[in-house]
Amino acid sequence: MCIRAGAPPTTATSQEAPPTADPADATPQERVEAYFEASDAAAADGWKDTSYADDFLIPELAEKQKTDDADRAESGAVITGERKLTNWTVTEEEDTTATVEFCDDGTGFEATKDGKPVEINNASLKVVGQFKLVRESSSEPWMIQQKGYYDEETTCDAHFAG
């Protein structure tokens, strides 16, 4: 590196670490975030490609996801918009199991069917999620084993307060 005399010193700025490239290095939160990004991308494309399920879900859950996505694709609906995932809490983490809770805010979603807007109940799209993840060893990626949501009466604000 060459520094010219009189050149102002450079300073490094602090940034949030980018997600890891190797799925085995990703945290449970990063894996769930990546799952939702892939799922939302599939929804925005009318669920034409559902192979993402194999990358993030245990085989039994992946098959169910693909079946559900095929039903959605048949409907002709397309879902676009922004999902916000906040209030991440790890309620359990060991070498091969982890449980995370988070607020899943899909109130920014919009739906279309055959190119025409379709009304969706966005009020029910802000929920508390609880996902359980598993892996064979620390050299393997976390896979989602269970996807669960609290009932609609359990608000994000109330659940994550205090």
pLDDT of the residue at 23: 86
User: How much is the average pLDDT of 39-53?
Assistant: 95
Q: Pick the closest to residue 55 from 73, 31, 28, 79 (CA basis).
A: 31
| pTM summary value | 0.84
Q: According to the model, what pLDDT value does residue 3 have?
A: 34
C-alpha pair distances (Å), 33 with each of 11, 89, 124: 31, 13, 20
Residue 24 scores a pLDDT above 80: yes
What is the structure's pLDDT at 102?
98
The reported pLDDT for the residue numbered 122 is 62
Higher pLDDT, 64 or 153: 64
